[in-house]
Amino acid sequence: MSDSFSETGQQLHRQLGQILAAPVLRGEHDPLGLVRAAREVQDGAELLMKAAVRQARDAGRTWQEIGDVLGVTRQAVFQRYGKPIDPRTGEAMNTIALRDADELARTVIDDLAHARWSDVSARFDATMRERLTDEGLAEAWAYIAGLAGAYENHGDTEVVRAGDFTTTNTPLSFEAGDFVARITFRDDRTIAGLFILDPDAARR
């Protein structure tokens, strides 16, 4: 095990110990300070996970084996931790998702739920603008409402970077059914794709 891997683990152990001790020392701790500390642990755990996956790959483990341990598909774990090579350039591809893509996705969903079709289409890239009108957006949303009733709320958004795009998947709850909003963003924050999918289809 590398020194950096071990050091990250030890640091996480110390931080987690402080958080777990907080109820006993409640009078001396700011609740927001605990939130900040928990966020640091979360960030540190992600660094540890990246290091663990890299170590497993260096040891010859497949993406399928790592995915099985994490309970996700090999594609999902590769998209999160892999280092794809751009076949156009031979260089490592950018794997950093668009900043605040989850908030962008929720804004689009809120606009759809409140029939602000022009606000959604104003975010379209040129290709989307040619292919989907405001009337088409309204028709598609009405179709979903006809299948599952009124929109109620959304769940947590998953974000993944693939090639030149960042794709978000957000669970949607309607009064009689569930769907997933899949929105693909370019780096200029325009929308390159917008789909409302059946949850089973979204997992493929």
pTM: 0.69
Which H, E and C letters describe the chain, residue by residue? Answer: CCHHHHHHHHHHHHHHHHHHHCCCCHHHCCHHHHHHHHHHHHHHHHHHHHHHHHHHHHCCCCHHHHHHHHCCCHHHHHHHHCCCECCCCCCECCCCCCCCHHHHHHHHHHHHHCCCHHHHHCCECHHHHHHCCHHHHHHHHHHHHHHHCCEEEECCCEEEEECCEEEEEEEEEECCEEEEEEEEECCCCCEEEEEEECHHHHCC
* Domains in the chain: ranges and CATH: 3-81 (no CATH), 101-202 (3.10.450.590)
pLDDT for residue 1: 47
pLDDT tens digits for range 83-139: 888 899 998 888 889 999 999 999 999 999 999 999 999 999 999 999 999 999 999
Structure-model confidence comparison of residues 204 and 137, the more confident one:
137
pLDDT tens digits for range 26-66: 555 677 877 777 777 777 788 888 888 989 999 999 999 99
